[in-house]
Amino acid sequence: MAHGHKSNEKVVFVGDSRVRKKAKTGPSIPPDYSSYPGKSEAFIPNFLLKEWMVGVVVLVGFLVLTIAEPAPLGYPADPTNAAFIPMPDWYFLFLYQFLKLQYVSKDYVVLGTVGIPGVAFGALLLAPFLDTGKERRFYRRPITAILMFMSLISVFYLTKQSWDHYQHELKLTNTIPEHILREEKAREAAEKGQEPGGEAAAAADIPLVDKDDPAVEITKKAQCVACHGADLKGNEGAGIPSFHGIGDTFTKEELVDIVTNGKNNMPSFKDKLSPEEIDQLTTWLAKQKKA
């Protein structure tokens, strides 16, 4: 053959299957491991098996977490829900909290969204071109190391602060996060032998009794609807009860007391409504029972 084909040669082409590539000058066998300094070992299979053992430990821990803590799911998105406290995922909290600081928000927000994070992340991205010395040990590179430590402390501090802030806000507004609330409801339903999970259908399905009662006008006049919603179904996530079926929870006397004196976050209505109106309203509310 014109190409001088040898029988022990692997068939290699140069990109056109009619032209065979010339045999390499030497075999591409990497040097033996014993020629490296120290106690090195082969990646496959020796080291990879050990690393896989570490991986298995991580995997078991991960699966235990997955089974012990189901992924959260709240209630369907409702853009009109004004009471919901927005919360990003935990690894964005430091940025979220950072933007609440005085000199990087409002008039200076550009500094907060572009300026400082831009410099910080830009410096991180280009770290090899900013820290060009030959020294690799961090304690011999004090400036780089201190900058990194300070950034880490700020990130941890801001994350913690953001989380505490959120918890405080939840307490202040008497709110249970939706995914927890939903899980509790599902558990309660399951204990009662009902279908677990599913959407929060309980409140929604109870019809209003006497929809044409004049008391309905009072709910509009007294601005009940502002918190309890135009459909009077309340807002479970924010701890605002629904009027549908409220007669099952409270008696008329209790309702009079709640409307007159307020309860939790609900204000008193004794200045806004006359005793007769309160009587009329609560009589109607007490009638709201599940059929």
- Smallest separation, CB 269 to other proteins (Å): 28
Q: Does 153 bind other proteins (CB under 8 A)?
A: no
Kindly state whether residue 30 participates in binding other proteins, applying the rule CB under 8 A: yes
Residues 117 and 121: their CA atoms lie apart, in Å, by: 6
Determine the Cα–Cα distance for residues 54 and 76; give it in Å rounded to an integer: 39
The whole-angstrom separation of Cα 88 and Cα 91 is 8
Q: Determine if 157 is a binding residue for other proteins (CB under 8 A).
A: no
Tokens of 183: 């899980």
Binds other proteins by CB under 8 A, chosen from 15, 86, 142, 193: 86
User: Does residue 73 bind other proteins (CB under 8 A)?
Assistant: yes
- Point out which span in 145-153, 224-232, 260-268, 274-282 binds other proteins (CB under 8 A): 145-153
Q: What is the dihedral of CA 238, 244, 247, 248, to 10 degrees?
A: -80
Q: Is 124 in the site for other proteins (CB under 8 A)?
A: yes
DSSP state, residue 214:
T
Which residues between 92 and 111 bind other proteins (CB under 8 A)? 92, 96, 99, 109-110
Residue 231 CA to residue 208 CA, distance in Å, equals: 10
Q: How far is the CB of 148 from other proteins (least distance, A)?
A: 6
Is 161 in contact with 154 (CB distance < 8 Å)?
no
Among 1, 7, 91, 171, which residue interacts with other proteins (rule: CB under 8 A)? 91
Q: Restricting to residues 266-285, which ones interact with other proteins according to CB under 8 A?
A: none
